[in-house]
Amino acid sequence: MLTPTVDNINRILSLALADPAGKEALSKDWRAFMSTHFALSSEQQKSVQTVSGLPPERVQAIQSAITNVAENGGAIRLSGTDPVMLVIRPEKPAEPTFSCTVQIKTFVCHVEG
């Protein structure tokens, strides 16, 4: 298991999007993908996996955008240092754009219209 650093996450996301099995895993459940590939602390695990950490509508917004990229092309990466931003750029956007700030301990997201 890898430490969830910006570089490690970007590398694994890039590899996953280049591989049919990786695309499928990301399309199914990005939270399970993160938990499977990275050594998350208990607080990070709670942040990703529970409603108290990340509201369901945000989980779904992120999942929809990731699935769109996996199925239709585009890019997923982390950018910046403090805060770190999750950037999802589908080639064919089907949903409103959104930004998601990824903090070391929690994920703080909002959907933009």
Task: Classify 100 as helix, strand or coil.
Answer: strand
- How is the chain split into domains, by residue range? 6-111
Predicted confidence at residue 104, as pLDDT, reads 46
DSSP letter string, 55-112: -HHHHHHHHHHHHHHHHH-EEEEEE-SSSEEEEEEESS--S--EEEEE-SS-EEEEE-
Q: Comparing 33-37, 49-53, 60-64, which segment has the lowest mean pLDDT?
A: 49-53
| 66: amino acid identity, one letter | I
Number of residues assigned to the chain: 113
Q: Is the pLDDT of residue 70 over 50?
A: yes
Q: What is the mean pLDDT of residues 79-98?
A: 74
Distance CA 95, CA 50 (A): 24
